[in-house]
Chains A and B, each alone.
Chain A
């Protein structure tokens, strides 16, 4: 038995675990160290991301030609988009950001750990069983076909009587419980456990984004839970509960209101931590303080507040009053203002900076460009008259993928490459990192760009088959999707290989330009982050151009 040689928080806690890898594994699975839990979250979300990716490949292969390609039975196909979305949203993006937050936030605020370490572990351990429950339909061959939205009446017991649908609903409730537990933990940690000098408006923007995201989770997720509870009651006791059934005095649109009251803020839950990551990456690789720090924090809060009053823009075609729709259109377009503040502040941060184009920065710049496109197609969809035409077409698919793949996923990659030296103590392979970036950036556009056109030309989403005129575009899109998926295997292989064989990383790895506390501790950090509570020297966040004194990075001591 070889001895486990690992540094920092990766090292075994007891002497026995040093020679016994089962004890070491047990130590990991029962850990209350936020850093290890963060790595567990990331590993879990990577598995679920690959699973969701495989589902998307199955969808795209089926759509490569018109007519049946892969599935003789359309009902299996019908189930896939919903499960792809469920896997990606609830089990990939959200846990991945929770994982990044778990690792980084306690260190960034100078705390030894999260406020409730055991709650933290419990929140993680709800996820794998929740995934099993959510996807249980795959094991018993009873997959619901109502998409990830689960609108009644399609999702009631008459049209979706299968057991798999009940498991899906239950699984989503469990995921909600897990993410609210994590949110409670983050808020208690960030509000109460900051080190000396770390005032709220000294917090790194990633930590700010986790605060805002946690509030979004706290306020939005329970509303989805209440909608799912009502749906479950209606499915289980159809003679008694008629919340969404007009025959019993219910209202199917009520479900949509409750669902989108969660699911619109959910897109900000999926993008705000990414904004925080980009703010960290851009300033490090520009060697400049983030431009407009205070406004960057407030614009995130503005996005969060506005995010709660725009949900009906998903429901323009449900017959709600025109005045209401116009109001929601106005509020939706208003979100472009704080988002624009963020985009321009990132660009202003880069302006005149000493730019370094390492993989994290490539992903950050790719994100800014692509997310702007996704944001603009969002403004198009926000307009009532246009949306009535585009509703439930591939334009919506293109928009959401530009926002979530080109948005959340690119930020996630930027963050993973950026903090990888810190997490593992090793350096990933820069060449393959760049290959991963360029393949992702190119094939993401190959996959999704033509879908805008398909949508405008009238191809509906979620359908098993389509008009032959869309065949060439779908073929390109499917080809792009396969390459895009394969490119992600490079990423996984790169990180896994480097974990063992990579070169040792330095403490402040990125040219010594990291200024937040996570770069002041060893790579990888020790079990309790800091040998003694650190003290944060407040940053004076003045806007000085890069060639002036104080404009470049290093704070005068």
Chain B
């Protein structure tokens, strides 16, 4: 098993009876089930703490302000665009145009980095200027706690995705991922779209309702 032929393929391949996809794709899908349940646990905790009588939970508009919500909406848009760029990476790779695939992948990574940057800016702003005012006003102290946990855990996923995509980018540059390795890119795409999808849930729960 340890023999490496320079490609990123590893391990034994599918058997005669299979689901018709690569092993790696099933691995990623099942991993995402697990990851979704982790977020489900945290979101369920959030829901339980928030939707309790007399929970003193601030409305998003009071907590973040119009500008804050709009900034995060922009951030959401950037992350979705990054997801679209990831689709283009695979599309260009399937057409065999690795130069363009590489550029789209750089756009994907850039989107993730901008997202993280805006989020870091927002966290700083909220910590320094905002949340202590909310606490002084007697709102539930778990509002910032769940906010940090949810957005932080998601941000960690974005950071992992950026690293993951960067590794793929380097592999493309070194010729280890070529137009034949679409499944490698597709699996990375699955993860990246998942992170995007989770963000839409987090954004809805934390910023919109």
Q: Which residues of A contact B (CB under 8 A)?
A: 32-33, 109-119, 180, 183-185, 187-189, 191-199, 214-215, 218-227, 229-230, 233, 240-243, 248-251, 254, 257-258, 261, 533
Contact = CB atoms under 8 A, between A and B. Distances in A.
A241 B150 CA distance: 13
Interface residues of B, number: 44
Which 4 A/B pairs are nearest by Cβ-Cβ distance?
A: A226-B41, A222-B38, A194-B17, A249-B140
A556 B45 CA distance: 57
Given A233-B145, A248-B141, 19 more contacts: A115-B27, A183-B30, A187-B27, A188-B24, A191-B18, A192-B15, A193-B12, A194-B18, A196-B16, A218-B30, A219-B33, A222-B37, A222-B38, A223-B40, A226-B42, A240-B141, A241-B145, A249-B49, A533-B15
B48 interface: yes
Given A113-B12, A254-B49, A242 B141 contact: yes
Given A32-B2, A192-B26, A115 B11 contact: yes
Contact of A243 (B14, B22, B145): B145
B60 interface: no
B66 interface: no
Given A191-B19, A258-B45, A112 B12 contact: yes
Nearest to A227: B41
Q: Which among B24, B33, B34 has the greatest number of chain A C-beta atoms within 10 A?
A: B34
Contacts of B38: 222-223, 225-226
Given A218-B33, A249-B142, A230 B45 contact: yes
Given A110-B15, A184-B31, A194-B17, A223 B26 contact: no
B149 interface: yes
B16 A194 contact: yes
A192 B23 contact: yes
Contacts of B30: 183-184, 187-188, 214, 218
Contacts of A250: 49, 142
Contacts of A258: 41, 44-45
A185 B11 CA distance: 11
B1 interface: yes
Contacts of A254: 45, 48-49
A198 B40 CA distance: 35
B2 A222 contact: no
A223 B17 contact: no
Given A225-B38, A243-B142, A249-B142, A193 B14 contact: yes
B99 interface: no
Nearest to B47: A254
Contacts of B24: 188
B209 interface: no
Given A32-B2, A184-B30, A222 B17 contact: no
Interface in B38-71: 38-42, 44-45, 48-49, 52, 55-56
B34 to A, nearest CB: 5
Q: Which among A116, A226, A242, A254 has the greatest number of chain B C-beta atoms within 10 A?
A: A226
Q: Which among B1, B21, B146 has the greatest number of chain A C-beta atoms within 10 A?
A: B1
Contact of B27 (A109, A184, A222, A248): A184
Contacts of B41: 222-227, 258, 261
A378 B2 CA distance: 48
Contact of B19 (A192, A214, A221): A192
B149 A229 contact: yes
B144 interface: yes
Nearest to A180: B34
Secondary structure of the A contact surface, majority rule: helix
Contacts of A194: 15-18
B92 interface: no
29 contacts: A33-B1, A112-B12, A113-B12, A115-B23, A115-B26, A116-B11, A117-B12, A184-B34, A187-B30, A188-B24, A189-B23, A192-B15, A192-B18, A192-B19, A195-B16, A195-B17, A199-B17, A214-B30, A222-B34, A223-B40, A223-B44, A224-B41, A240-B141, A240-B144, A242-B145, A243-B145, A251-B48, A254-B49, A258-B41
Contacts of B27: 115-116, 119, 184-185, 187-188
B170 to A, nearest CB: 20
Contact of A221 (B34, B140, B145, B146): B34
Contacts of A219: 33-34, 37
A118 B149 CA distance: 31
Contacts of A189: 23
Contacts of B140: 248-249
A227 B38 CA distance: 9
B23 A113 contact: no
B122 interface: no
